[in-house]
Structure 1
């Protein structure tokens, strides 16, 4: 059961089968970022089929653009991680070389 107020949707936390429901977010290209509620036994053997969208569907243009933008952001974050690892390796190598030069100077 649910009811809509002026500000938000209020959901019962119990499914029709008696199990608790779970709020999730879809990360598929067609429903990216769209929230939904499912029974905890959803898609299990002898499970429940309770499923309900909380958010309305996105417009076609958003479904075309957003997945590409997310892929770009993910690639950018991966590149930053690689750069950070290379930078740490550089600093370690620099410190080791300074330590060797210090020892050789003694």
Structure 2
């Protein structure tokens, strides 16, 4: 792998999350796809097999959905704790 792109800059390492190349790392110029920019692009990882290409997008969607559910449940738990504490304070003040 080259340490310098065609325009003399250090290439940026990124990860592709497309359905065709999920999780596959690549190196490109920071100005890649800009008008008049450098067209340097190089894959770091080898291509993944067809079966992995089918499975990984579904797994990523599932993980994202579960992380969203977890975030909502954590928010609800904090809210319920705050309501419990407020109810204890109100009961203590008006006893």
TM value normalised by structure 2: 0.94
Q: Secondary structure at the match of 2:94?
A: helix
User: What corresponds to 2:58 in structure 1?
Assistant: 68
> Structure 1 residue 18 and structure 2 residue 8: aligned?
yes
The residue aligned with 1:80 is: 70
Q: Which has the higher strand share?
A: 1
Structure 2 residue ranges without an equivalent (≥5): none
Contact 1:19 1:41 (8 Å CA) reproduced: no
Count residues in correspondence.
95
Do the aligned partners of 2:19 and 2:57 also contact (CA within 8 Å) in 1? yes
CA contact (8 A) 1:25 1:33 kept: yes
Which residue is 1:44 aligned to? 34
Q: Tell me which residue corresponds to 2:90.
A: 100
**1:15 counterpart SS class:** coil
> Please, which runs of 5 or more residues in structure 1 have no aligned partner?
3-10
Structure ranking higher on relative contact order (CA contacts 8 Å, 6+ apart): 2
Give deviations 1:62-87, integer Å, cap 9, x for gaps: 00001101111111111011001101
SS state of the match for residue 26, structure 2? strand
